[in-house]
Chain A
Amino acid sequence: MSDTALAAPPARFVVASQWLLMWWAFRRHKLAMAGLIVTAALYIIAAVPGFFAVNDPAKQNARTAFHPPQAIHFLEWTDSALPSLRPYIHPYVLKRDPVSLASIYAEDRGRKIYLSLFAEGYEYSVFGLFTTRTHLFASQDARQPLFPFGADRLGRCVFSRIMQGAQISLTVGLIGVFLSLLIGVVIGGISGYYGGRLDFALQRVVEFVLALPTIPIWLAMAAALPHDWPAALNYFCITLILSLTGWAQLARVVRGRFLSLRTEEFVTAARLDGASEARVIFRHMLPSFASHIIASMTLAIPAMILAETSLSFLGLGLQPPTISWGVLLREAQNIRSIATAPWLFAPGVAVVIAVIALNFLGDGLRDAADPYNK
């Protein structure tokens, strides 16, 4: 037992609800807490990306095309012995190679551009309610913007684009993931729990869904949706429709487990106890393979984010100018980026962080919910 549990007065054990117990168990899991904090941070970014961005993510600038990432110097060494905490950057000077048209940047070590917290920058809107110009941090000189992760081919700030991309990547696709999980668990559960003719019929449906190609559906959907909708809404509709076909795999897995579980004693006991069928399925049978479901969920999330990338590879799904992690990675998928601008792969790091955070969060939830867990 951890310190927290021991420190709690014994009386509280008596009145602690199941949820409270789970929260205590969860809090003991350090990685899960870290996962929770990172996930929360990511969703705050997704809610107000403009605040965290340092430059307008859509603003192109010929003078900063393929600008390399800039190191931020936090401590300023002056004549006095102790350095002062005053973050600054060295600006870069651009020359263009006349033959290859490539941009060549040189760091100007002689000059310093200071950064400040809560600085004024470009105007952005918060939840579409009001607009503001305050950013978490920015360069004090508007003509010398800061590029923490460099800039892309059109001189757009990669860092700010990653912030902006979190909005779509962490919301739109995930709704599709959850929906297909829900359908998958319900249909798979019913199919496996009842078995027999119902199972037979449902399995034929699953076969259809597994077998039909999805690319033509994407193509047809892209054509059918009204073109005056914003791209993100279009994409949301497409993921919604596709989640109607994406549930089949999970449904089969869940059904396989239910087939083997439904003869178990604890299921019979619950049934004899008068529990409703829904309760037997969701309260008794489902938790016994919660890990699997959580794992499928955490696996579905990167798959969904990356599905955007594969789809835009085919000219479907989200397309620039919409900003999402998948679109950013797709834009980096060429020899030019690998050869001259590897910082364009930074969105991949964002995906890794998000996925790992969500996974540890999921693991923590599972452990906390597991009554056998010691």
Chain B
Amino acid sequence: MLLFIARRLLWMIPSLAVISVLAFVLIRLPPGDFVTNYIATLAASNEVVDQNTAAELRARFGLDQPMIVQYWKWISGIVFRGDFGFSFEWQQPVGDLIWERMGLTLLLTFSTLLVTWAIALPIGVYSAVKKYSFGDYFATFFSFLGLAIPSFLLALVLMYVAAMYFGQDVGGLFSEQYLTAPWSLAKVWDLMSHIWIAVVILAVSGTASLIRIMRANMLDELGKPYVTTARAKGLSEFRLLVKYPVRLALNPFISTIAWLLPNLVSGSIIVAIVLNLPTAGPLLLQSLMSQDMYLAGAFVLLICALTLVGTLISDVLLALADPRIRLE
């Protein structure tokens, strides 16, 4: 096992190197460059950029150099100096920009994850065991409702109702007076009173699909002969479920850990935009859309690294959860 992990960790180095090249090429693939986007953004408000400035910006950011030179400038900074570069847009170091948002991002996505799993798994198991009961149909109907309504639409409607009928401000994670206040008990409480709305909205579609998948996995297991055997042996229904089918039904979930970690950073971007959450998602999107290369590049590298770690964890867990799987 340890050998396996060590080998996989070693493999991450060439993987990351290849991904960094691919990511860099991908980020530069769309038409135009940062300066084009900058001009276009300003033009949206009928604001004009000085012609001389535009040419000057391109030269300043090195966008007029060949891609290989730009890549080398970027990657050598990271490898030799741990410097992820400057964001074109903000004229701020990329690292600061990302870390600034990471804390709240992780808090929000982890709570969403917990809520989702806590609601979805039991309902999914129940739905499968009591297949075609009223409860199953009820859960099915609501989970599909949750799936079919875009969560950002739901967010907007909730914000509207809260603002117009209850005079409440739903967007954001803090009230005005706590925005820049230092951390205190009151601020934590304020965060808690805001975060649950975001968590609920974010959890809706995730919960819905998780219920369906859990139900399906359970159905795959429940039909198998070993369940009948166990039942014939007189095992209590609860013990029977938890000991075998649920454990095996979790197998696909363990496989999903591979993209759970990167999703912590890049998931639910549009909801975050609509709800105005200060998480990493909107920043990532903006950097990709505006081709703010170094910022986008750092994000993509981070996501890649998380994916690699995620697949490793998921492979190890797969083997731990199911003795039939061996790591080689």
Q: Are A and B interaction partners?
A: yes
Which A residues form the contact surface with B (CB < 8 A)?
31, 195-196, 203-204, 206-208, 210-213, 215-217, 219-220, 223, 249, 252-253, 255-257, 259-261, 263-264, 288-292, 294-296, 298-299, 302-303, 306, 309-310, 313-314, 329, 332-335, 338-339, 345, 348, 351-352, 355-356, 359, 366, 370, 372-373
Q: With A211-B262, A217-B29 as known contacts, state yes or no: A335 contacts B300, CB within 8 Å.
A: no
CB contact list, B1-53 vs A, under 8 A: 11, 15, 18-19, 22-23, 26-27, 29-31
Mask for B71-92, Cβ within 8 A of A = 1, else 0? Answer: 0000000000000000000000
Q: Complex Cα distance A370/B252, Å?
A: 20
**Taking the complex as formed, is B116 at the interface, i.e. its CB lies under 8 A from any CB of chain A?**
no
Contacts of A302 in B (CB 8 A): 144, 147-148
Contact in complex: A216, B288 (CB < 8 Å)? yes
Contacts of B160 in A (CB 8 A): 335, 338-339
Q: With A291-B219, A366-B219 as known contacts, state yes or no: A335 contacts B255, CB within 8 Å.
A: no
- Of the stretches B54-62, B93-101, B210-218, B234-242, the one at the interface is B210-218
**Taking the complex as formed, is B311 at the interface, i.e. its CB lies under 8 A from any CB of chain A?**
yes
User: Which residue in A215, A292, A366 is a CB contact (below 8 Å) of B217?
Assistant: A292
Query: Do most interface residues of chain A lie in helix, strand or loop, or is the interface mixed?
Result: helix
Q: How far is the CB of A227 from chain B (nearest CB, A)?
A: 12
Contact in complex: B148, A313 (CB < 8 Å)? no
Q: With A252-B255, A291-B217 as known contacts, state yes or no: A212 contacts B19, CB within 8 Å.
A: yes
Chain B's closest residue to A358 (CB) is B144
Chain B's closest residue to A333 (CB) is B153
Contact in complex: A348, B15 (CB < 8 Å)? no
**Taking the complex as formed, is B209 at the interface, i.e. its CB lies under 8 A from any CB of chain A?**
yes
Provide 17 A-B residue pairs closer than 8 Å at the C-beta atoms, listed in order of the A residue: A207-B308, A210-B259, A217-B26, A220-B30, A256-B254, A288-B224, A291-B216, A295-B212, A295-B215, A295-B216, A299-B147, A299-B213, A302-B144, A333-B153, A348-B149, A348-B150, A352-B149
Q: Complex Cα distance A265/B24, Å?
A: 47
**Taking the complex as formed, is B243 at the interface, i.e. its CB lies under 8 A from any CB of chain A?**
no
CB contact list, B201-246 vs A, under 8 A: 209, 212-213, 215-217, 219-220, 223-225
Contact in complex: B213, A195 (CB < 8 Å)? no
Q: Complex Cα distance A183/B256, Å?
A: 17
Q: Complex Cα distance A191/B11, Å?
A: 18
Instruction: Give 5 nearest A-B pairs by CB, closest first.
Output: A219-B30, A295-B216, A291-B216, A372-B223, A256-B255
**Taking the complex as formed, is B157 at the interface, i.e. its CB lies under 8 A from any CB of chain A?**
yes
User: Which residue in A216, A289, A338, A370 is a CB contact (below 8 Å) of B156?
Assistant: A338
CB contact list, B297-328 vs A, under 8 A: 300, 303-304, 307-308, 311, 314-315, 318, 322, 324-325, 328
Contact in complex: B224, A372 (CB < 8 Å)? yes
Contact in complex: B300, A338 (CB < 8 Å)? no
Q: Complex Cα distance A298/B23, Å?
A: 31
CB contact list, B256-301 vs A, under 8 A: 256, 258-259, 262, 266, 270, 285, 288-289, 296, 300
Q: Complex Cα distance A256/B314, Å?
A: 9
Contacts of B219 in A (CB 8 A): 291, 366
